[in-house]
Structure 1
Amino acid sequence: MQLNTQLHQNKYQFQSITEVLAKANEEKSGDQLAGIAANSQQERIAAKFVLSQLTLNDLFNYPVIDYATDEVTRTIIDQTDLKIFNKIKNWTVADLREWLLDSQTTGTMIQQLALGLTTEMIAAVCKLMSNLDLITAAKKINIEKTANTTIGRPGTFSARLQPNHPTDDWHGILASTMEGLSMGSGDAVIGLNPVIDDPNHVANLIKKLENFRLTYQIPTQICVLAHITTQMTAIKQGANAGLMFQSIAGSEKGNTAFGINRQLLLDAKALATNEHCVSGPNVMYFETGQGSELSSNANFGADQVTLEARCYGFAKLFDPFLVNTVVGFIGPEYLYDGKQVIRAGLEDHFMGKLTGLSMGCDACYTNHMQADQNDIENLTLLLANAGCNYIMGVPQADDVMLNYQTTGFQETATIRDLLDLTPTAEFATWMEKMGFWQNGQLTDLAGDASAFAAANIARKEVLL
């Protein structure tokens, strides 16, 4: 295993694979904050060259966090198909990149081979790819998952409807939900971030959202994004939680900071499955985002892209319906500007799909970041071309509870129109029934929440 190289007259010696992975990463303010980034563009190129010549076997033998001390590492390694891995273990990272991008390599071939990859291998090849490479490879991979409905079918582009309210006022939540549904958002999930993480409060919100969904016979799933233990308590109190949500990290220590571990998530999945919270087999919903491990001092000297890949390897165990990276939520400490946000979104989407996940993206930014809505729209269009399963749908793209900017209802509608995509089949049929969709396009009723009042359904009890 060679960890050194020479560019012109300059020699570069790296001490570990973890250092090579970090310094081969595209420029990220989070890696600079952690003190692990390349010191120059020349050093970054040297690290990329060294990384390109490492074998997949090298990366298998040297995960960035030791197997014996970290359950995320154990989860990743123990899921690896060793028969497939042994066939490709002598490939270099450069070989893997060339194979992924080869025009003869199909999505089915990629999904089969990916069973033999660990997350360090996935992160490594990601670092050798341009943005266009990431789009090209991800586009080949199609991931379908089923809860109450099926997401990820070819020709579809979905959205999570996020009707957050700063005081959890039900009438405000309901108004946002109706508006979003009329615009075609919500076929992935109607997902509410509650202000108060209390079991009784969360159970009440779950019951109201599910009652609304059932009253209007909306073919989707609901989720109240409280801590997973709160959702579990709500289910035990009789609430049908829909999808079970949790933020996850790429290290055991990071997950401990979130108040979770592998067994807790397995218990949550079993509870949701046994209580038939959704009709399909995929009951979990995870969110990630580059930088969370550094925030909890749980990065172990590893870069944020590699740790993000490890999130996906951990998530894979639970076969989730949805995973999304909240790509710019933490702020400029980890992703400084629009360029870094766009790169991170494409990286995360590629790595998640290569891992086998139903991958979406909360393409977002904070007010103190050097980014704007044009950057987010650029990223959204790139992700849609890469085959992203879903994005966020927030009123006017401005979350008034979480105080960040993301994608609105209009972005989803516009992307569908531009790229000739549709909502999920079941949801499109429902929209036609409600008068929101006709001949593959939104009607004049789009954006008119009052259309629900005109539906021949008793509305009074929904508003109580």
Structure 2
Amino acid sequence: MNLSTTHLGHTYRFDSMKDLFAKANEEKSGDRLAGLAADSVQERIAAKAVLGELLLEDIREHPLLPPEEDEVSRIIDNEINQHVYQSIKRWSVSELREYILASETDSEDLKRVSRGLNSEMIAAAAKLMSNLDLVFAANKLEVLTKCNSTIGQKGTIASRLQPNHPTDRVEGMVASLKEGLSYGIGDAVIGINPVEESVESVKRLLHATHDFIQNWNIPTQNCVLAHVTAQMKAIQQGAPADMIFQSIAGTEKANKSFGIDADLLREANELAKVKGTGTGPQRLYFETGQGSELSAESHHDIDQMTLESRNYGFARHYDPFIVNTVVGFIGPEYLYNNKQVIRAGLEDHFMGKMHMIPMGVDVCYTNHTKADQNDMEDLGVLLTTSGVNFIIATPMGDDCMLNYQSMSYHDIATLRETFGKRPSPEFEAWLEKMDIMKSGKLTTSAGDPTIFSR
């Protein structure tokens, strides 16, 4: 296995697979902070050249984090379909990239190949792709999932309605919920980030959203994004939860810092099947984001993009209803500016889709990042053309509880109309019944939350 190359008389040598993967990554402030990034553009190009020549079996046989040391690695490796892997293991990373991008390769072809790939192989291919490559490849893939309703159909873009409130006041949350629904938002999930993660608070919010959904016969699902253990206790006490949520990471150590492990997530999934209110078969919701392992000092000298891909390999094991990357939420220490946030959002979406994950994105940034709302709208446009399963929306693009900037309710409506996208079919039928939408466009009733008070 060769880890060096010579270009214009200069030889570039890489100390290990970790070193090679990190230096082949596009510029990220998190990799720079961790001391992993390439020292120059020339070194990055050299790393990409060497990475492209590696065989897929080289990557599997020289794991960045060995399965015997990490349960995430074990789960990812155990998920590999041996028959598919044997048929492609002699492909180089460059050949995998060319196969993914070939015009004759369709969604079913990619789904088959995906079963023979581990997360590092998918990350390696993504490192060799331009932004347009990532858009083109991801748009090929259709990943359908069902909880109470089905999302992910080609030609649609769903949305998470995020009616957070700074004090978890039900009346304030419901007011925001009504506004979001009036813009046609909420087919992926009505999901609330609680200020207080007590079981009683979780129960109160779950009951309020469930009752509203039932009263108005809305084809969607509810979720409160507290720690998984608080949700489980609430469900055991009778709270109506369609899904169970948890943030996850790409290493066992980072997951432990979140207070979770693989067994706990299996237990949560079983509880959702037995006592949850979602009809399924998918009942889990995961969130991720580049840099979380480094922030937890649990990255094992692996670059943040590759670790993000491992998130999706871990998530795939549980067959979730939705997964999303909160792409710019951690801050400029990990994604410094608009260019890095946009690149990460496209990488994450593609890598998630290549794992056959129902992938969404929280198109967001914190106020100390060198980015603004125009940049988020740019990424929203790119993701829409990429066939993203869903995007998160907040009132006026400003989350009053989490204090970060995201996409607004009307942004999702604008993206749908601009690109001829529709909500999920069941949700669109409900919107037409409510006179919020007609023939794929919002009506004059849209944006008026009082329609839910008549």
TM-score tier, shorter chain, comes to over 0.9
> C-alpha displacement at 1:242, in angstroms?
1.3
> C-alpha displacement at 1:35, in angstroms?
0.2
Please, what is the CA RMSD of the aligned residues? 0.7
Cα offsets for 1:24-65 (capped at 9, x unmatched): 000000000000000000100110000000000011112211
Cα distance in 2, alignment partners of residues 102 and 432 from structure 1: 39
Q: Report 1:33-52 matches (<5 A).
A: 33-52=33-52
- 1:373 maps to 373
Cα offsets for 1:379-425 (capped at 9, x unmatched): 01100101100001100000010000010111110111011111111
Q: Does structure 2 retain, via aligned residues, the 8 Å contact 1:361–1:391?
A: yes
Cα distance in 1, alignment partners of residues 363 and 276 from structure 2: 31
Q: Does structure 2 retain, via aligned residues, the 8 Å contact 1:23–1:44?
A: yes
- 2:281 maps to 281
User: SS state of the match for residue 96, structure 2?
Assistant: helix
User: SS state of the match for residue 270, structure 1?
Assistant: helix
- 1:459 maps to none
- 2:440 maps to 440
Q: Does structure 1 retain, via aligned residues, the 8 Å contact 2:236–2:275?
A: no
Q: Does structure 1 retain, via aligned residues, the 8 Å contact 2:235–2:276?
A: no
Cα distance in 2, alignment partners of residues 166 and 200 from structure 1: 17
> C-alpha displacement at 1:180, in angstroms?
0.2
2:246 maps to a residue whose letter is: Q
Gaps of 5+ in 2: none
Q: Does structure 1 retain, via aligned residues, the 8 Å contact 2:365–2:371?
A: yes
- 1:460 maps to none
Q: Does structure 2 retain, via aligned residues, the 8 Å contact 1:277–1:283?
A: no
1:3 is the counterpart of 2:3: yes
User: SS state of the match for residue 450, structure 1?
Assistant: helix
> C-alpha displacement at 1:439, in angstroms?
2.1
Cα distance in 2, alignment partners of residues 101 and 310 from structure 1: 22
Cα offsets for 1:211-257 (capped at 9, x unmatched): 11101111100000000000000000001111110000000000000
> C-alpha displacement at 1:378, in angstroms?
0.5
Cα offsets for 1:293-328 (capped at 9, x unmatched): 000110000000000000000000110000000000
2:453 maps to a residue whose letter is: A
1:190 is the counterpart of 2:190: yes
1:425 is the counterpart of 2:425: yes
Cα distance in 2, alignment partners of residues 308 and 147 from structure 1: 25
Cα offsets for 1:339-380 (capped at 9, x unmatched): 000000000000000001000000100000000001100001
Q: Does structure 1 retain, via aligned residues, the 8 Å contact 2:160–2:391?
A: yes
2:98 maps to a residue whose letter is: E
> C-alpha displacement at 1:276, in angstroms?
4.1
1:91 is the counterpart of 2:88: no
Cα distance in 1, alignment partners of residues 182 and 422 from structure 2: 14
> C-alpha displacement at 1:204, in angstroms?
1.3
Q: Does structure 1 retain, via aligned residues, the 8 Å contact 2:241–2:276?
A: no
Q: Does structure 2 retain, via aligned residues, the 8 Å contact 1:139–1:385?
A: yes
State the TM-score, normalizing by the size of structure 1.
0.97
- 1:328 maps to 328
Q: Does structure 1 retain, via aligned residues, the 8 Å contact 2:243–2:276?
A: no
User: SS state of the match for residue 449, structure 2?
Assistant: coil
User: SS state of the match for residue 234, structure 1?
Assistant: helix
Q: Report 1:313-324 matches (<5 A).
A: 313-324=313-324
- 1:450 maps to 450
Cα distance in 2, alignment partners of residues 410 and 154 from structure 1: 21
Q: Report 1:96-115 matches (<5 A).
A: 96-115=96-115
Cα distance in 2, alignment partners of residues 201 and 93 from structure 1: 48
- 1:416 maps to 416
Cα distance in 1, alignment partners of residues 333 and 43 from structure 2: 22
Cα distance in 2, alignment partners of residues 242 and 230 from structure 1: 15
State the TM-score, normalizing by the size of structure 2.
0.99
Cα distance in 1, alignment partners of residues 62 and 109 from structure 2: 26
Could you list the structure 1 runs, at least 4 aligned residues long, displaced by more than 3 angstroms after superposition: none
- 1:165 maps to 165
Cα offsets for 1:257-292 (capped at 9, x unmatched): 000000000000000001242012000000000000
Cα distance in 1, alignment partners of residues 426 and 103 from structure 2: 33
